[in-house]
Chain A
Amino acid sequence: MERPHFKTRLLDGGIFLAGFDYRGKSANVLNGESVAAWQAVVEEAQANDAVTAVVLVSLKEGIFCAGADLESVHESQRKQDLASIDRLVITVHTLFDTMARSRKPYVAAVEGACLGGGLELALACHARIASTHPKTCFALPEVRLGILPGFGGTLRLPRLVGLPAALELITTGKTIYPRQALRMHLIDGMVASIPSRDRTLEAVQREALVQAAIGKARTLCANLDLPSRLSPGQRFLALPGIRAFVCGYARRQVTKRVRGFYPAPLRAVDAVQRGLRTGVLDGSMRIEKPRLLELMGGSVSADLIGLFLNGETLKRGVKSSSMAPASVGVLGAGLMGGQIARLLAEKDIAVVLRDVSGGVLAKAVGRIHDAQAAQLRKRVILPSEMRHRMMRILPTITLQDMARLPLVIEAVSETLAVKRAVLEEFERIAPPHAVFATNTSSYTVTDIAAQAAHRERCVGLHFFNPVAKLQLVEIVRAPFTSGPALATACAVAKRLGKFPLVVNDGPGFLVNRILSRYLAEAVILAGEGVPIRRIDGIAKTFGMAIDSGRPMGPLELLDLIGLQVAIHVLTSLTVLGPRVERRDELLQTMLPPGRPPLTFWKGREEHPDTVDMIRRYRRLHPQEEGSVSDDAIRQRLFLPMLDEAVRCLSDRIVEHPWQVDFALIHGIGFPAFRGGLLTWGSRRGTPPQFAEQLASLSSRYGTRFEPCPALAGGAWC
């Protein structure tokens, strides 16, 4: 039978097959409409005596259900209209409870992503059968969006997989793959199934997965008493006294990770702990729902959901990832080149990795191999996948091997002459349509392409280190960059699962330009004698890099970037004007000739040599006494960033403020709970206020703080 979002069919033997196919979206989502449709299906199944069991399947390939419809949630959040969410949650709770209590078994046949509310829907069924489809995965990512699983997940999951596993899934939002899910009894069966191309109920019904689910439904019809599959150990950990201890441990883990900046995981632990004392429906209504609504009403969740939607917008902006070439060249097998090659190989793109030194190449493939071996150990991939991935990378010292590639990404050493030489070499062997993408961080695409024969082929493709972790890729469009070149770069970035943010060419592009102000000021502060620990501590208290799981201050970040690269970037950005002030002497002394560069940190301690060095430097350069308040340090670190962001907007590096916020969160770890740099700024004050603060900093500490005219003029852009 046809109805909106669900197709149903009564099979022989009373199996009621329901196919979820959200109309008008590429993914199945739960919102008022689809929940109402599902409610109608459930009601019909319950009322019809011919129905003995219900099997739920997705008619979209590669996705079971993506969870709640975030767009409508975000809309309600923006309108502060929590009543509609409240209504939806109540409907869902009663509906899921009807399913769970029904004497007709419900079986979910899961193929593809089963996330958030989708997983909670599956949890409300009596059994779940999953296919080994590569896209099949399970997660409750709600805490990453600042909320908690609100469709009964906090209650049903611990009852199914035990308290510790449930806490981990709920508080981290981590993804579980079918094999792990089977081991932890999240699913009742796993079947290798070939998805049907034809996504109709008739065709899908013949899939091994659906057949297995139907079989499961038949056995459940015979006996619906579901004994708990929790082990004695798991049951012990859920005993009232012990439970408090386990939850306390989970709270400590959470606090360690998010430092109290994010309320959601703690609320989720709360909900799980209290939920174990009550019945599922009761708990959903009285414990889970109030916490969900409280979180929904807060700004953190609104920011995080907005951020997520922005990412989707960026990815959707790339018309099709089919433009992504099947093979890509990477020039330079250094730290960045190797990581880019690894990512490409992992995403099924053949890579020709070229370097002038065989040893460097071998080290790079060695690092890639180790990363794959680690994934193999964690059972993220199978040995065959590892074999294929490793063989997708062809290391070579012959440039000629690059001659037939539609795209090469350049990641050679950060020297203009070298980059230009590489481009020239490449142009000699490549056809004119081959795209040359540079991963430069300190030069503009215009600089690099200055002497190119076909400069329209040049585009920037700026990855951030570590490539596997940071989701942002700046796609740099120079005035001469051709449409196809830009499209190819965007398509590759999208294929790699990154957020392709198109920015206009300019020194430091967007992220490094803003970042440089922050880093430079941190170095100046260190030079004034402010302890390293204090500078980084203040940035960490602000929440910098908290979302990466490793909070980090500017000086630690400098260590990570590498001093040489950092100096290079800062030097190249002096073209922006005197506001990018370097403490060259200070940084240069940290690069003793013939020895590895000093770092600010040595493990968890300040590097004693660096501390000494700073002391010596201060004796040579006596300055005013460096007694600065925490507040002043915070201002000196973050206001210049704000100023630079406004300048980027007025220079039209990007069009919209949300792009700045998005880029900084995903590129340098600006704390997401603050909503992004400009959002944070707009909540803290008005442009003239900031201009005033900057002006006062400028009079005290130097003209580098001079606010930009736009800010003083009272505009954000």
Chain B
Amino acid sequence: MRHVVIVDGFRTPLCKEGTAFRETDADVLGAWVVREMVTRCGNWNLPLETIDCVLGSNVATPMHAVNPTRVAAVVGGLPPSIPADTVAGKNCGSGVTALYYAGLRIRSGDVDTVLVIGMEAMSRIQTAYHHKVAGLLLEYGRAKGVRQRVAGAVALLPKLLNLKKYPPRVGLVLGLTDPMCDLIMGATAENIAKAPAFGMTREDQDAFAVRSHKNAAQAWTQGLFADEVVPMYVPERGVYVERDNGIREDAGLETFREVKPVFDRHYGSVTPANASQITDAAAALLLMEEEKAKALGLPIMGYVREYADFGYEPACMGLAPVGAISLLLRKTSLALKDFSVFEINEAFAAVVLGILRTLDSAALMEQTFGRYGLSGRIGEIPPNDLNPHGGAIALGHPVGVSGLRLAVTSLLELKRRKAERALIGGCVGGGQGVAMVLERK
């Protein structure tokens, strides 16, 4: 049996949309982490040709680089002979799925070494013209002679400025809206927060968000993130970035109470403060077949084990990880108590709370998952083991990178706790959930 080990993994600082990385494209972010990995390979005396392929995770595909992983790999300094492709379709689960696919390829004996990278430049998501305006623009561009040009401009300008009738398509909003139910992700979180069965208050959500910020801030103060974060030098802005910049020093119930809900302005409880942040970042992990890594004398950070995903109602996508986790436990015959660290992506506080409460209650399980053949209380996740160093609410949620970040963070925490096993997972827009087991031995 071939086992898949993680040799090394790291991430860039997570920078809020519109800050340090706002002028950096996803492929460039990816190239940075590739280059960092190339440097590390050099320090291990590992020839770059050892890497058999690069698998990337990127959701908001840059228009100029349809396969950003390939661009990142070659520009970042890998030989062009190493192929690369990108997992994009699993939305926020793409990172975990990329790890799984890479693991599959290694386990199957197809390849021995895969570099998995994640890159997301949410600041760079484009806004597109309304298709009618775009057509007129192209026509105007093709116009020859003064008469055609004037005619083109006359036809174009009123439509260009009439944003009501010809609204531009804002990529970020479209990307976060589910076409199956026309709900933006925040609205699906509202669906969980408002469901009476969960008994969730605004206070609960805010308290969870405050916890996330406090944990993350504490992790930075203790220097815990130094192991996973490589500082970045941003040429586009000439700034040095060492730290995640989304963590709020002023996090507290009082301050968060002031924040207005955005997804349901009047009666909602999901606010920007208790939702994840829109963020730019990149991460990389080097995966290798166990025997090969040992033969090469490389460090072993951990093992990639089983994976499960689950489909659920799109309008309530936040609950899907419950299904993924129960499938995973069933597959592995493990129970929640066998895990020492849980990293569940904090897309929204409501989502994580909903997951925790469902897992912990037979009634809720029956009510929400009974129809899919899953029932029975699964168990409680001890608060100390869940996202011990904060999550996407404090750090940010660069969609294609989050899965990889969870993997790196949880493995490093396992090492600190001298523990064995971690579970990572998260919800996926469109009504899916992913979960994966990582082990240190």
Contacts and interface: CB of A to CB of B under 8 A. Distances in A.
Contact of A394 (B28, B39, B71, B240): B39
A388 B75 contact: yes
Interface in A363-402: 363, 365-370, 387-388, 390-391, 394-397, 400-401
Interface string A616-646: 0000000000000000000000000000000
Contacts of B258: none
A365 B235 CA distance: 5
Given A361-B233, A387-B31, A395-B233, A367 B242 contact: no
Which of B42, B233, B239 lies at the interface centre, i.e. has the most chain A CB atoms within 10 A of its CB?
Answer: B233
A400 B235 contact: no
B236 interface: yes
A362 B42 contact: no
B76 A362 contact: no
B43 interface: yes
16 contacts: A350-B77, A358-B231, A358-B242, A362-B234, A362-B239, A362-B240, A363-B238, A365-B233, A365-B235, A365-B238, A366-B236, A366-B238, A387-B28, A391-B31, A391-B77, A394-B39
B240 A391 contact: no
Nearest to B71: A387
Interface in A536-582: none
If over half of B's interface residues share one DSSP class (helix, strand or loop), that class is named, otherwise mixed; here it is mixed
B238 A362 contact: yes
A404 interface: yes
Contacts of A366: 234-239
Nearest to B31: A391
Which of A363, A370, A391, A401 lies at the interface centre, i.e. has the most chain B CB atoms within 10 A of its CB?
Answer: A391
Given A359-B240, A362-B240, A391-B31, 17 more contacts: A358-B231, A361-B240, A362-B239, A365-B233, A366-B235, A366-B236, A366-B239, A367-B238, A368-B235, A369-B235, A387-B71, A391-B32, A391-B76, A391-B77, A394-B35, A400-B43, A401-B39
B75 A387 contact: yes
Contacts of B231: 358, 397
Interface string B223-241: 0000000010111111111
B10 to A, nearest CB: 14
A363 B238 CA distance: 5
B225 to A, nearest CB: 16
A344 to B, nearest CB: 15
A95 to B, nearest CB: 42
A233 to B, nearest CB: 15
Contact of A369 (B75, B76, B77, B236): B236
A362 B43 CA distance: 23
Contacts of B43: 400-401
A631 B240 CA distance: 53
Nearest to B65: A387
B35 A358 contact: no
B131 to A, nearest CB: 27
Nearest to B76: A391
Interface of A: 350, 358-359, 361-363, 365-370, 387-388, 390-391, 394-397, 400-401, 404
Contacts of A394: 35, 39
A397 B75 CA distance: 22
Nearest to A367: B238
Interface of B: 28, 31-32, 35, 39, 42-43, 71, 75-77, 231, 233-242
A362 B240 CA distance: 5
A390 B241 CA distance: 17
Contacts of B75: 387-388, 391
B114 to A, nearest CB: 21
A332 to B, nearest CB: 15
Contacts of A396: 39
Contacts of A400: 43
A229 to B, nearest CB: 18
B72 to A, nearest CB: 9
Contacts of B77: 350, 391
A395 B238 CA distance: 12
Contacts of B240: 358-359, 361-362
A358 B35 CA distance: 17
A409 B222 CA distance: 37
A694 B44 CA distance: 64
Contacts of B238: 362-363, 365-367, 369-370
A370 B236 CA distance: 8
Contact of B35 (A362, A363, A391, A397): A391
Contacts of B28: 387, 390-391
Contacts of A369: 235-236, 238
Nearest to B235: A369
Contacts of B233: 358, 361-362, 365, 395
A368 B236 CA distance: 9
A369 B233 CA distance: 11
A350 B35 CA distance: 12
A306 to B, nearest CB: 42
A600 B86 CA distance: 58
A136 B45 CA distance: 39
A365 B241 CA distance: 13
A334 to B, nearest CB: 14
A365 B23 CA distance: 14
Which of A363, A369, A388 lies at the interface centre, i.e. has the most chain B CB atoms within 10 A of its CB?
Answer: A369
A274 to B, nearest CB: 37
Nearest to B38: A394
Contacts of A397: 231
A361 B234 CA distance: 9
A396 B231 CA distance: 9
Contacts of B39: 394, 396, 401
Contacts of B32: 391
Nearest to A358: B240
A396 B236 CA distance: 17
A586 B309 CA distance: 76
A57 B436 CA distance: 63
Contacts of A363: 238
Nearest to A361: B233
B84 to A, nearest CB: 15
A400 B237 CA distance: 26
A368 B75 CA distance: 17
Contact of A390 (B71, B235, B237, B242): B235
Nearest to A396: B39
A404 B42 contact: yes
Contacts of A404: 42
In order of increasing CB-CB distance, the 10 nearest A-B pairs are A366-B238, A369-B235, A362-B240, A358-B240, A365-B235, A362-B233, A395-B233, A359-B240, A365-B233, A391-B75
Nearest to A400: B43
Nearest to A363: B238
A707 to B, nearest CB: 50
Contacts of B31: 387, 391
Contacts of B236: 366, 369
Nearest to B237: A366
Contacts of B241: 362
A369 B238 CA distance: 8
A171 to B, nearest CB: 34
A398 to B, nearest CB: 9
A362 to B, nearest CB: 4
Contacts of A367: 238
A576 B237 CA distance: 45
A358 B234 CA distance: 11
A363 B237 CA distance: 8
A367 B237 CA distance: 9
A371 to B, nearest CB: 10
Nearest to B25: A387
A395 B231 CA distance: 10
B394 to A, nearest CB: 23
A115 B234 CA distance: 39
A368 B42 CA distance: 25
A439 to B, nearest CB: 21
A368 B35 CA distance: 18
B19 to A, nearest CB: 14
